[in-house]
Structure 1
């Protein structure tokens, strides 16, 4: 028994042995927590249906807190066995503070991931708020770590920051501007992830895929990604197409340029042809009745003395009837078929309507089908579409 007591006393007097024992105990506690306790927790989480526990593993939160217990053991046993060494104690406390800070950052990532996976993230994006909160915590953490190492109070260090306010404002100018812009984005609902945003001054035209504190990422239609500083995008003009998507209708605004040399009054042959077109036969009968009534007391020696059907007017009526019978056209939105001012490229006949499908591919298909038909139907009204002379046209002229 005396030998054992002497052995223990010898160990207590040998600080290197005590230091080794302290390090081994600390390392052993880390192994137990990391590879036994956390493994068991991970297996338990895998069996649950909730996603919260999976996020705790994915963000590394559990891995980081596994360092806290070994560091606490090392700090306490070192003071008990080795003695109070000021520098080493401060370094150990600083390590504990850093691990707690890193764990808290991971916890913020957990909350951020939980929110991003919720239904509310589509309405309000909080990523920039989490980033600014993380920045504030890290800045305060740096002050705390410095105060631990230096032995000064954190309030003492904070009081010295007053003189550096101007420098800090300069350093964090972009961060402050971006934070204010993030508040504007959320409070005014300017745009959110998934919105189609067009900002030509930045060469951006596509879907918003990320809204961060300092940058906005827009995936263009050619699959390239434009990265725009948050505050610069807010300071400039941009177009958000969300209103179009939410309305349920997408505008079709296109003109057919009619060769003005082909515009004329309708003769009997043309009128008979028009009567055979089902969707305007009722219009033709009603129009002819009105014209006969109007022209009853007018000198009929010249057609221009009275009113008469024209092929361009009848074609315009046909376009209206065709579009009203088209199931892909939104009937509750602006519906307009009109003539624009004549130009050197003919008489523009503009169609201004809305499709009831906002999907880009479907919209283009609907628009193409409409104009395929309308351009092909021009011959039935004895009208010609205007197009500038091509090389083939000029070669035919030279043969004459």
Structure 2
């Protein structure tokens, strides 16, 4: 991934591109954009974000106000006061309103915050502007954002309890090893030789456990940084692991086909729609497949060629794409494929849930045993010997 600065219609923009520097230059040149700078993203850079429910509310209200006859500038005057003053969206909307007031289209304002709104939403706005159906398009966009948010909520809901249990267990283990055990060791010193195997174990654990937890945290952080820096190379190994492969492709295909259906519903051309999906993919493997699909469409191979290009689709979804005979039909089929992959993704989450609970529960039980051996028993030994920490 690279960060690209480019000029379009006399204005400077910045965007993320999933690919190499050469691929970014080639892609933007084809779109008539002048590249003025390319750099690698910092692994410590955090993306700007906004709450999905606020984004849905803004797009819905904007569509309703435009349908009622208000112009864009006045519509923003009504929407911005309805948001909390602390909302991240407020300064973004003020900037977009400023650009719209200068006569620029809404899509150009949204492009300044591409990391927040995403290329799918921006592509839909462009289509709505070109077709003169912006209010209807904004309503479709709100549904799209809401659907993505609901999937995220379902995923979080299924993982929150194991995460809480895991965090509590690690915190308990660390705090006992770091603070309780040293106090007991100080009590051992007062006991004038009342050493035992349990106290020796406690002394070892008070050093090993915090160090071990620190090493694990450091490895996780290093892993995240390495993945950001060498994502393309590491993906080749990740997709060989069946569980990770399922999660990558089930979620990616759900998002991709849902976005495709929404883009096609507002009359975005198939080649353009597939290009937007390829450019917004979070994984190189998925991006390359959709780029291959674009080549097939341009070559006149139709959606049968698309099915061949998307190599990670199952035979069922391939058969569905091969049955598409028109753009109207492909929109319906994309919705069905999206629904299928959403079901597969959630089923995978559901099947993984019990395994996660067992793993986390086993870890918590192990922590309790360690705490019993390293804290309770030594404390009982010291109390019996008349030593108090």
TM-score by length of 1: 0.21
Greater fraction of residues in strand: 1
Greater fraction of residues in helix: 2
Q: Who wins on radius of gyration, i.e. which is larger? A: 1
Structure number with higher relative contact order (C-alpha < 8 Å, ≥ 6 residues apart): 2
